[in-house]
Amino acid sequence: MKKLITLSFAFAIVLCSYAGNGKAEKPTATNYKEVLKEIVYPQASVEQGIEGKVVVDIKVNKLGEIVSYRFKSYPCRDLKEAVESSLTKITFLPATNKKGEAVNGRVTLPINFQLTI
């Protein structure tokens, strides 16, 4: 019986940090769906039946550039590396404060890897 490989993506911006004391609008990924569709489910993970969610926290500067990222959780190194290799392709609109000025921000992305029969 063959396994059907499903790679599902749940995009959620759950955290945002601010510059100054005003509330900010969250950074927004402009092309995340396209980039995430390019992620290939690693063959070793498929063969071992490894599924799960990779969660990455990304800091975005006021120019919309990724300045750093940290993986909060991942089921195995192969799935983490599959996501990590795609991060540089994601572009962002920066967070903005109450005045509409660009500020540094932070987003959390969960990416689900799921095998189905």
Query: What pLDDT does 23 receive?
Result: 63
- For residue 92, what pLDDT band results from cuts at 50, 70 and 90? very high
Domains of the chain (ranges; CATH) run 9-116 (3.30.2420.10)
Query: In which residue are the tokens 């795609």 written?
Result: 86
Reported as type and span, the H/E element at residue 48 is helix 43-48
| CA–CA separation, 56 and 70 (whole Å) | 6
Model confidence over 53-70: pLDDT tens digits? 999 999 999 999 999 999
Do the bridges between strand 52-60 and strand 66-73 make them parallel or antiparallel, or are there none, so unpaired?
antiparallel
Burial label for 38, CB within 10 Å (0-12, 13-18, 19+), is exposed
| pTM for the full predicted model | 0.76
Model confidence over 19-57: pLDDT tens digits? 444 566 889 889 988 998 999 999 999 999 999 999 999
